[in-house]
Amino acid sequence: MIIVMQKGATAQQLKAVKERIRKLGYRPHVIRGETRQVIGAVGDERGKTRLQDLQSLPGVESVVPILKPYKLASQEIKAGKSVVQVGRNVKFGDQKVVVIAGPCSVESEEQIIATARAVKEGGASMLRGGAFKPRTSPYAFQGMAEAGLKLLAKARKLTGLPVVTEVLNPKDLPLVKKYADMIQVGARNIQNFALLRLLGKARKPVLLKRGMATTIDEFLFSAEYILSEGNDKVVLCERGIRTFETATRNTLDLSAIPVLRQRTHLPVIVDPSHAAGRWDYVPSLSYAAIAAGADGIMVEVHPHPEDAESDGPQSLKPKKFSAMMEKIGEFARVADRDL
């Protein structure tokens, strides 16, 4: 249910409504608008008729049912788009297109510092880099763990770029949270519900990647797990789905962008590197994503991709990244956005 407060409702009235919602066995989630406040009451669907009685409380304008099965992620609870801020200056969902760039894996101090400086010079807003890596083979490079996180923190200090990195195991969340500005949930963990609930309690911005075989509804339900625990700082990332096609690593589902824009208020970005699996396809897919309405892109960049521990074939070299960024500005302007 959505409880719409009257324009000018007092803080005391808001508090009384929240207390009443809790007594009825539901969790209140306050959404503050420009002119009024809305409270989402989330809980067992079977008893939702009891919430209708909130209509009589002082300061309440109306009580409206949410029709979508995912409540807090739905456009019904918040018209328009949410803006998720990372660090001091990066905002997902506003007028500017956010570009995240960096290597698949943190491999050495020289590599991550050189890449961070290169993507900063090229116009990136954030630095990506994996310290914990999910690999299909148990013998492949698994990341540098805390040593990699410390190198990301050093790169942030030198360049000013906020850092996003992936967490794999719930037990590692406190460690990753200590170093990261934004925490990534990879495609393989999209339905790791225990991890999603912990991220909801962590209150750190979350980059949630769509799974290889995840439907749009399942994607939004995963976001709902984080939102339902009180963390509204969630950014969705389309990174390609698995189809019968073998010419690319995955198939980038560009249609997911307008669908998500219609169904949710959460910002949506695209990772063309993981979708394509080849660096030479990345620029075209990036332009297409921005034209389709994406709030940002996330691309892999490596100074020496031929020597990369992981995902070298899909990584742009710094010069290619800079050339792509020059053209991306043109697409952003056509889409009535800034870079």
Token duo for residue 70? 């995912």
Is the pLDDT at 253 greater than 80? The verdict is yes
Q: Where in the chain is the domain with CATH 3.30.70.1140?
A: 2-64
How many percent of the chain have pLDDT more than 90? 74
pLDDT band at 47 (very low <50, low <70, confident <90, very high): low
In the prediction, which pLDDT does 140 show? 81
Q: Which residue has the higher pLDDT, 165 or 4?
A: 165
Answer yes or no: is pLDDT of 33 > 80: no
For residues 285 and 275, is the Cβ–Cβ distance under 8 A?
A: yes
In the predicted structure, residue 46 carries a pLDDT above the cut 70: no
Q: How confident is the model at residue 290 (pLDDT cuts 50, 70, 90)?
A: very high
Query: Strand order in 2-5's β-sheet?
Result: 27-32, 37-42, 2-5, 60-64
Report the C-alpha gap between 116 and 122 in whole angstroms: 10
Which position has the token pair 């013998």? 139
Q: Which residue's structure tokens are 């962590």?
A: 202
Amino acid at 116: A
Query: pLDDT per residue over 314-331, tens digit each?
Result: 999 999 999 999 999 889
- Is pLDDT above 80 for 16? yes
Q: What pLDDT, on a 0 to 100 scale, did the predictor assign at position 34?
A: 66
Domain 2-64 part of CATH 3.30.360.10: no
Alpha carbon distance 272, 252 (integer Å): 7
Please compute the mean of the pLDDT values over residues 91-120 and round it to a whole number. 96
Looking at residue 79, its pLDDT comes to 74
Choose which CATH entry (3.30.43.10, 1.10.10.10, 3.40.50.970, 3.20.20.70) describes domain 84-334.
3.20.20.70
Average pLDDT over residues 73-78: 87
Of 44-53, 134-143, 176-185, 212-221, give the lowest mean pLDDT range.
44-53
In the beta sheet, which residues pair with residue 268?
236
Average pLDDT over residues 111-115: 97
Say whether pLDDT at 120 is over 70. yes
Q: In the predicted model, what is the mean pLDDT of the chain?
A: 93
pTM of the model: 0.89
35: pLDDT strictly greater than 80: no
- Banded model confidence at residue 45, pLDDT cuts 50, 70, 90: low
Question: What does the alpha-carbon distance between residue 79 and residue 339 come to, in Å, rounded to a whole number?
Answer: 24
DSSP annotation of 11: H
Tokens (6 digits) for 327: 């053209």
Average pLDDT over residues 208-234: 96
- Indicate where the chain has its CATH 3.20.20.70 domain(s): 84-334
Average pLDDT in the 40-45 region?
Answer: 78
Predicted local confidence at residue 181, as pLDDT: 98
